[in-house]
Chain A
């Protein structure tokens, strides 16, 4: 167990889930399974006072220590973590924006591989998540279920035979489980078919969100597909539901990529190579600009238009080019213009390295 003093965000390698090696990694970035749990006998976080919240944090931390989750975990008391470092954790998908911006006793525990993360005193007392590279809901769920079962031996969890695991928001009650699949849909976006996919997903009771979850925009053609219902379906049925939808989306995206390549080759080559040239030469880049061009280069790698850049490099740039990661690397708070210059420099360096 480490505290903040032992944690250096930049020395810590980025999550394994960004490797781009999992199943269907041409389209699927990652699969995340989340379970919402509450400790019985305490009001939910929003209604708990500081004393109750710190008691929940203490109990959860003790329980986590007693169940030996992984060989090496990092536990952070978020009240002791600076705002910029909290934002880094958000950019790495280890905590939510809500937890970063909240007040009072709260924390996070995550594995060194950054696949497992457990938030304490988010909307629910415990939010457990497991992220796998590519499309792998079965293994992400079974890995997380082991953690969940271990936690249940150490903590009394609020549960009702009628409504299942009890959560602060009625949209999470039941299994408390949300499976989110992060997909990269540049071809569907270019061909203007992306709305059709979302409407179809919604009809099948699934939601589509932006890169950083609820209410965020879809940067760089990245979207999260997730189950909407958590009550009245077993965990296996939720996994089966997402497994029924995602392959259809993948098939559609691949068909559009194929169509682009065979029927609009010049158009797509022009788009991809202009993006790559821009990223390799720009002196200032905004986040949005970086992400939309990275998205097209990523498409180019899949279509073999670009052969000297790896998926891994591109996936990592999506995270390393975010504002807090840039500022942490510069050891300074940067104004927007300075950030744009640093971002351009980082992207040039990473994409140039790939050519050597």
Chain B
């Protein structure tokens, strides 16, 4: 069977998407493509996406490297020059992309701060002349719904940390589970909303 990513080399690795104990999607790829797919899939700066979508994006990425056929793919470090071709985080709630935020200079909703968290610090440091750019001062006192929002933000941060650790240990089974948990939490409607 050919690799579903490069469609040239023999596939040796099977990737399964598991959601609530059921396989929702699977793909077979070669070890060379796995180097890229792995980096891409577990990059904490990217939103989680179904495997087939990841393969399509990685494929597009590799095709965009000028003058390089897949047979002579560069080592992972050389991928960075084509950064603009890569997909950017999208807010699941208001649809704001990082590019749109950078263009407009305004967020679409409170979730954007969570979704773009990895990209905000340099900007906020510059605007507010403070390092690290973290809140100091009062917080809402008696809003239970507000507390739930804060709790979710903490839960997500914790899960993302565990996911990074799992990837570092190459424990991909655990990583996939954590990824699904994050996805489920992200897709849940924001607490406190009457919308």
- A: which residues have CB within 8 A of B? 38, 40-44, 46-47, 52, 55, 59, 123, 145, 149, 152-153, 155-171, 173-175, 205, 228-237
Contacts and interface: CB of A to CB of B under 8 A. Distances in A.
A160 B138 contact: no
B103 interface: no
B127 A170 contact: yes
B29 to A, nearest CB: 37
Contacts of A46: 106, 108
Interface in B105-145: 105-110, 113-114, 117, 120, 123-124, 127-130, 133-145
At the interface, is chain A mostly helix, strand, loop or mixed?
Answer: loop
Contacts of A205: 129
A153 B142 contact: yes
Contact of A47 (B96, B135, B153): B96
A284 to B, nearest CB: 42
The 9 nearest A-B residue pairs measured at CB = A41-B193, A164-B135, A232-B130, A156-B145, A156-B192, A158-B110, A234-B137, A47-B108, A229-B128
Contacts of A38: 110
Interface in B57-114: 93-94, 96, 105-110, 113-114
Given A156-B191, A230-B128, 10 more contacts: A43-B109, A152-B142, A156-B146, A156-B193, A159-B150, A160-B135, A160-B153, A169-B105, A169-B106, A237-B136
A44 B106 contact: yes
From B108, B142, B144, B194, name the one whose CB has the most chain A CB atoms within 10 angstroms: B194
B135 A44 contact: no
Contacts of A160: 110, 113-114, 135, 150, 153
Contact of A231 (B108, B110, B133): B133
Given A161-B150, A232-B133, A42 B138 contact: no
A163 B157 CA distance: 14
B42 to A, nearest CB: 23
28 contacts: A40-B191, A41-B192, A46-B108, A47-B94, A55-B195, A145-B138, A156-B145, A156-B191, A157-B143, A158-B146, A158-B149, A159-B139, A160-B135, A160-B153, A162-B113, A162-B135, A166-B110, A170-B107, A170-B120, A170-B124, A228-B128, A228-B129, A231-B128, A232-B130, A232-B136, A233-B136, A234-B137, A237-B137
A157 B124 contact: no
A163 B135 contact: yes
B154 interface: yes
A259 B129 CA distance: 37
What is the size category of the interface that chain B forms with chain A? 35 or more
Given A159-B146, A235-B137, A55 B96 contact: no
A170 to B, nearest CB: 6
A160 B115 CA distance: 12
Contacts of A233: 130, 136-137
B185 interface: no
Contacts of B128: 174, 228-232
Contact of B154 (A161, A170, A228): A161
Contact of A40 (B110, B133, B137): B110
Given A41-B191, A156-B146, A232-B128, A174 B135 contact: yes
B132 to A, nearest CB: 8
B48 interface: no
Nearest to B139: A159
Given A47-B109, A158-B110, A153 B143 contact: yes
